[in-house]
Chains A and B, each alone.
Chain A
């Protein structure tokens, strides 16, 4: 089916669609996600914010809490998107200050995972380019189902959104909220959202409905 109005073959639309999903790659039970953004802050500041892993839950939707347990070790608690009671320990296995941080889950993690984040000065001399690669080993059972459901058909979108919020937090101080998407990083709902009108007292009191 072609587009009568533009004369473009419909195949072009399909190609664009597939470009959008190609960045989340499933290899058997393992899923690799990559995303990148540019943040208008100097490398040391961006690096330091990420290196304090306890900051990650402020912008990563699937995390409830990360607690440092040592200089290179930490305990991670997943949020509702990964299902309940999913926790693991992680260790930083490689770090070069101002350049990269590499971590991996250790022990008997429910969702074994590794992550790499690289920081590079942007050509404008002001900003920092951030590249993130996350690899998850998707387990079977309910946890695996929850994780698969969370990532859905466009797994990279979650990481893109995480980095968008990372940028918001560093550049503006917090995650941006609107009336239609009032709960910051918890707003990850498919459309339709709530109407773009102010929240009632009971909605405000109830908070995010997760």
Chain B
């Protein structure tokens, strides 16, 4: 089959690889009809995530048709021919984390958990196409994918909604929604969102759906801010104005009640076991401006407010404003999205017209054009916000 693969730093390559097969009894194989490039894929391409290997199939946002199921799959749960959206964290459904709906912290789905444990203190779930640290699972920027624990994760789509309306249930819509949900939004809240990329846009929409009085979008790309503005959010361009001053103006001097970091830190992976300590320092230093969003969110948030972090962090963070956090009674909440928890309720919200996930799609390309898609997205060319790939 054709698949988009990691080919070294700053290089992806569509090539022929073997078709996937069933390896575990509860696997399924999905023929992919739509897949997407995620902002977090850029961390891999930029070379900041260790344990990537030449030839790794990328991609963790995908959907399609089930073409094969393992002998351990209950036919009442999933059958050949089902149309499914696949959540990016691989979760067993049986461990204590899954029982608590903390699917991205699944204790069983990462065969390389021992490595992840060294880096994070405790292991994290397997993730499709996202390095060997998260399991070494082939991803979904391909014609087919093997889906482990297929009786737990995949969401069946039984209505006639187009792929583009449901594809983002795999990651970015639930991720944005969880960012807003963690804010415990009240009807009087002003919510500020750092980052107007795809996840940020969905965090903004989610804050509005959850009842926020006003939503502010912070970014530097005019086209991304315009996209947010068209959806009813208030743009703030951090290259044109002082963000803190502008936020105070917009909130009567109080500061936003809730702040969402949808930017993250591109370059923080490192582990004594995997990479030399210098590598970590180098990686962090290369991206010194990135933790700026989180620092600014903490400094801007009103006392007693919530700072919700959905941008990806991977290692150590420099100069964390602990004084502001502690002395002003801020609550910091975060997590890789527990996608499985949100898929069904968000599908219902899409069906009711509360979300229009298609509004962020700017480019639809053939899978074989993945390389160009990464270029467009990474370099923010041609007003690129979200690339959907068609295998």
- Name A's B-contacting residues (CB within 8 A): 3-6, 10, 13, 16-17, 20, 38, 40, 124, 127, 157, 160-161, 164, 167-168, 171-174, 176-182, 187, 191-201, 203-204
Complex Cα distance, B72 from A17, in Å, reads: 40
B residues near A38, Cβ cutoff 8 Å: 96
B residues near A196, Cβ cutoff 8 Å: 53, 55-57, 129, 132, 136-139
Name, among B108, B126, B136, B316, the residue most crowded by chain A CB atoms within 10 Å (CB to CB): B136
Complex Cα distance, B270 from A13, in Å, reads: 12
Residue on A with the closest CB to B112? A181
Judging by beta carbons under 8 Å apart, are B114 and A161 in contact? yes
A residues near B1, Cβ cutoff 8 Å: 198
Q: In the assembled complex, how far is the CB of residue A34 from the closest CB belonging to chain B, in whole angstroms?
A: 16
A residues near B242, Cβ cutoff 8 Å: none
A residues near B378, Cβ cutoff 8 Å: none
Q: In the assembled complex, how far is the CB of residue B30 from the closest CB belonging to chain A, in whole angstroms?
A: 13
Complex Cα distance, B136 from A175, in Å, reads: 15
B residues near A124, Cβ cutoff 8 Å: 96
Residue on A with the closest CB to B5? A197
Is B344 among interface residues, defined by CB-CB distance under 8 A? no
Is B272 among interface residues, defined by CB-CB distance under 8 A? yes
B residues near A4, Cβ cutoff 8 Å: 281
Tally chain B residues at the interface, Cβ within 8 Å: 53
Residue on A with the closest CB to B136? A180
Q: In the assembled complex, how far is the CB of residue A5 from the closest CB belonging to chain B, in whole angstroms?
A: 4
Q: In the assembled complex, how far is the CB of residue A209 from the closest CB belonging to chain B, in whole angstroms?
A: 16
Judging by beta carbons under 8 Å apart, are B95 and A171 in contact? yes
A residues near B118, Cβ cutoff 8 Å: 20
Complex Cα distance, B274 from A159, in Å, reads: 20
Is B240 among interface residues, defined by CB-CB distance under 8 A? no
Judging by beta carbons under 8 Å apart, are B18 and A201 in contact? yes
Candidates B95, B96, B111; contact of A181 at CB < 8 Å:
B111
Binary contact track B113-125/A, C-beta < 8 Å → 1, others 0: 1110010000000
Judging by beta carbons under 8 Å apart, are A197 and B24 in contact? no
Complex Cα distance, B132 from A207, in Å, reads: 20
